[in-house]
Chain A
Amino acid sequence: MDLMRKLAILTESAKYDAACTSSGASARQNRGDGIGSTIAAGCCHTFSADGRCVTLLKVLMSNECVYDCRYCVNRRSNEVERASFTPRELAELTLEFYRRNYIEGLFLSSGVCGSPDGTMERMIRTLELLRYDHRFYGYIHAKAIPGASPELVERMGLLADRLSVNIELPSEASLRLLAPHKTRAAILGPMAQIARTARQNRQELVRYRHTPVFAAAGQATQMIIGATPESDYQILRLAEGLYRKYALKRVFYSAYIPAVADSLLPTPDQKPPLLREHRLYQADFLLRQYHFAADEVLSAEHPHFSPYLDPKCSWALYHPQHFPVDVQTADYRTLLRVPGIGPKSARRILDARRAGSLSNADLGRMGVVLRRARYFILTRDQPTGVKLGREAIARALLDPAAFSHGAEQLSLFAPPRLEPAISGAAPTLPEAVEEVIASLPHPL
């Protein structure tokens, strides 16, 4: 089979994996003897037709698989064309793409081709060619194969910047149902090993400068959303637990796209839950960057995200007791909780107020989204805040992403789990405003 065909097959079968970032750059320094570098911020090289950032050459080593996970296009029982790269082919392709600045590096995963260990050996061979023969200093994200032996996981971690294991589904019950060959232990085992080894490695690095670096950019994982019945609350709690327990750098959420008919899965005519995926990323961001806890964002009583409000606005509306916030005195974390203020503008506020008191116009010039923030802050021109009707506030906070082209119809995304009363037709903007207001707590 020629390389063009292989590339098509092995890209096709890798594309559902959500992660493609190169952030959290490695400590690997190009000593001038090779090719490549990494930048801490990560770097998008292009955007595909689905609007996703393309950073890495994301392919499978092989799409042959001895397992039969129900949700996966590569499962044994699915009839698709199979292919495998040789380590040499893939290493060269990566290098040539990298030279032309198409990519930031390689994202390598694989079906279980033969045995987990055999598959890992082949992946490791590819990475060794890149790192040792070609002196490649670019970014490598590798996926450890569940069930692989700890020695191989360790070897892979010394070659990759980021090493991860997919948790696949948000609960053990779902895993048992849809991926009978994978056990929770086979997934969490390597995850724990990676976290442990990375921690020891950091300590050794402090003591011995020449210790090889183990997965400098940490580990990530991903799970499929919408194929199984878990609530947003369950998913967010799981993510929070993973961040804490395994020191994960990122959890990725992948809206399930029905690729094949299966009695246990959503039917192929169902739209992927993109808005839900979007809300999960927003909430995940609140956990990682805004110091929120999962229990603040959702609860057992309110286990699902609002389709109309992003999670932060939602939190602000339900917690009027925390507002208004005085921009002149509030600390960083308090500022972060104001709708319309992000990490950058919060830092600018802290910096700027040393030079004098701040007006609304000042804040606007600093990048604060006043349209949202003004209801929640005290500034020089509004020392006692603004009193405005609930409707105006709700309207200002409605997420435009939920309404396509700013039109009055909720149509861009398939909204997840709307109230039964409106689940038939897409609600209009005034209806959405009304629904949001109706669900608000009283003292606002």
Chain B
Amino acid sequence: MHIVATDREKAERVRASIPEKIGLEALTLVEDVFLSCMSDRELALLRFLRLGYRAGPVVLSMHGHPRVAPVLGAQRALLGEAHLYKGFTRFADYGGTLVGIIQPKNCVLPHLARHFALRYPNEDFLLYDKTYHLALSHRGHVLDLQPVDSLQLAPIDEREARYQALWKQFYRTIAIEGRENPRCRMTHLPKRYWAEMVEMRELF
């Protein structure tokens, strides 16, 4: 393995050159791929950028190119997972603050911040990413993303327990007997999401 020490100044120069030489979209792509869980993403990005400097903005259209397809794929995976978490995230009410935990493959919190801030403009909430040890917080209308080692939660209160029970009741009832299809459910909702979802936890 070869380790390249970070040189801030050079890094900044490269960052500034990307929108100039390849376009703003390419910069977004690079940032997203850094957030993705692609293995050897630095190397893949290096190869992509070198091609990009030669080819210019058209590089983003080369969907089938062996240096472009993988990074586009990594970006799609990141955005795809972020989209899933817009639905699969579960919050619980802890004395007025909504708290949720996720365990994603990609680092999706930066892509969830705006979504949940718009959805709950008047709620205080905290969303903790167990994989990357990051917490997104929203307090008094202010959003913040901070590294956090771990999260200790008090037991839920009676009111919260009641809503969780109501939700589980709904979840159980909405399925149609005679159409059970565990394989189909597993395809759409893979097991790795279950642990943090109220209605799936007991099936886990």
Interface set of A (CB-CB < 8 Å, partner B):
3-4, 7-8, 11-12, 15-16, 30, 32-37, 39, 41, 43-55, 57-58, 93, 96-97, 99-102, 104, 255, 257, 271-272, 274, 348-349, 351-352, 354-356, 358-359, 361-366
Whether B63 lies near A351 (C-beta < 8 A) is: yes
Report if A354-B61 is in contact (Cβ < 8 Å); known contacts: A35-B120, A49-B175.
yes
CA distance A255 to B181 in the complex (A): 15
CA distance A93 to B162 in the complex (A): 11
Whether A352 lies near B163 (C-beta < 8 A) is: no
Whether A36 lies near B119 (C-beta < 8 A) is: yes
Q: How far is the CB of A252 from chain B (nearest CB, A)?
A: 14
Q: Which B56-88 residues have a C-beta within 8 angstroms of A? A: 58-59, 61-66, 69, 83-84, 86-88
Residues of A within 8 A of B197 (CB): 46
Whether B87 lies near A44 (C-beta < 8 A) is: yes
B180: CB under 8 A from chain A?
Answer: yes
Residue from B69, B83, B91, B100 having most chain A Cβ neighbours under 10 A:
B69
Whether B200 lies near A30 (C-beta < 8 A) is: no
B16: CB under 8 A from chain A?
Answer: no
Report if A257-B178 is in contact (Cβ < 8 Å); known contacts: A46-B88, A97-B167, A355-B62.
yes
Q: How far is the CB of A28 from chain B (nearest CB, A)?
A: 12
Whether B87 lies near A7 (C-beta < 8 A) is: no
B11: CB under 8 A from chain A?
Answer: no
Whether B171 lies near A54 (C-beta < 8 A) is: yes
Whether A101 lies near B90 (C-beta < 8 A) is: yes
Contact pattern, B 89-107, Cβ under 8 Å of A = 1, otherwise 0: 1111100001010000000
Report if A366-B69 is in contact (Cβ < 8 Å); known contacts: A257-B179, A351-B63.
yes
Identity of the chain B residue whose Cβ is nearest the Cβ of A359 in the assembled complex: B64
CA distance A93 to B166 in the complex (A): 9
Residue pairs across A and B with Cβ atoms less than 8 A apart, 22 shown, are A4-B166, A4-B169, A15-B174, A32-B121, A35-B120, A37-B118, A43-B87, A46-B189, A48-B175, A50-B176, A50-B179, A51-B181, A52-B179, A99-B123, A101-B89, A101-B91, A349-B63, A354-B61, A355-B58, A358-B64, A359-B64, A366-B63
Identify 20 new A-B residue pairs, CB closer than 8 A, beyond the known A46-B87, A359-B64: A11-B169, A15-B174, A15-B175, A16-B176, A35-B121, A37-B115, A39-B115, A44-B188, A50-B180, A51-B181, A51-B185, A57-B170, A58-B174, A99-B98, A101-B91, A102-B198, A255-B179, A257-B178, A352-B62, A361-B64
CA distance A365 to B73 in the complex (A): 9
Q: How far is the CB of A416 from chain B (nearest CB, A)?
A: 16
B165: CB under 8 A from chain A?
Answer: yes
CA distance A257 to B180 in the complex (A): 13
Identity of the chain A residue whose Cβ is nearest the Cβ of B183 in the assembled complex: A51
Whether A102 lies near B63 (C-beta < 8 A) is: no
Whether A50 lies near B123 (C-beta < 8 A) is: no
Residues of B within 8 A of A32 (CB): 121-122
Q: How far is the CB of B168 from chain A (nearest CB, A)?
A: 10
Residues of B within 8 A of A50 (CB): 175-176, 179-181, 184-185
Q: How far is the CB of B3 from chain A (nearest CB, A)?
A: 30
Report if A8-B169 is in contact (Cβ < 8 Å); known contacts: A47-B185, A352-B64, A359-B64.
yes
CA distance A68 to B65 in the complex (A): 61
CA distance A363 to B189 in the complex (A): 28
